[in-house]
Amino acid sequence: MNSSTDQKAATSEFRANLEVLMQIPLFARVPMEALKLLAYLFQRENFKPGDFLFRQNEVDGNVFFLLEGKAALVLEDGAELILTEYGEGQLIGGQSLFDGTKRLFSLRAVSRMTCLILARDKFQRVLEQFPDVAPRMFEALVVGIHQWEARFLAQHAVRCSGCLQNLGVTLV
């Protein structure tokens, strides 16, 4: 491949990343200049079935957007318990961009996968250049948590009274 072909491929990937980011609620309110920088910093990575994207108790600081394939959220507590599956178009780990806490679960590829990945250190550099990005993204995180809790209530309020004792995330 020559440098002209490489440059066209990079430009095409950048544009594709930018279009994807504009559709993700966490990034939807980010100003265009910052969004362009983020689109440039996101890396595409492929995974095979059985590959772990991250492991329980690790501090990796990455956010993943699933472009293709499926992944299982796994609790590794002696025995392995699959909690749920994620698929194309889902963002996983947005909170990790803002904190350095350990992962509570593992995420394992179920099928061949392609993801967009952004590391926290790269994201932090974007925040240094564009400090107005963080409040907009925090707002999106809060909205996402509220929507999750509302869905959980709608699905489990009648069937699982014990589950309701653990709700109230939106009160934090």
> pLDDT tens, 41-75?
999 999 999 999 999 999 989 999 999 999 999 99
According to CATH, what is the number of the domain 3-171? 2.60.120.10
Name the band, by pLDDT with cuts 50, 70 and 90, for residue 119.
very high
123 has pLDDT over 70:
yes
Pairwise CA distance, residues 141 & 147, whole Å: 10
Q: Would you state the pLDDT for residue 90? A: 94
Cα–Cα distance measured from residue 64 to residue 147, given in angstroms and rounded to the nearest whole number: 20
**How would DSSP label each residue in 2-55?**
-HHHHHHHHHHHHHHHHHHHHHSTTTTTS-HHHHHHHHHH-EEEEE-TT-EEE-
Which whole number is the average pLDDT over 88-96? 91
Q: Is the pLDDT of residue 8 over 70?
A: no
Taking the model in full, what pTM does it have? Answer: 0.83
Q: How many residues does the chain have?
A: 172
Q: Across the chain, what does the average pLDDT equal?
A: 87
* Position 169 confidence tier, pLDDT thresholds 50, 70, 90: low
Give, as one character, the DSSP assignment of residue 145: H
Q: What is the pLDDT of residue 3?
A: 63
Q: What is the mean pLDDT of residues 97-121?
A: 93
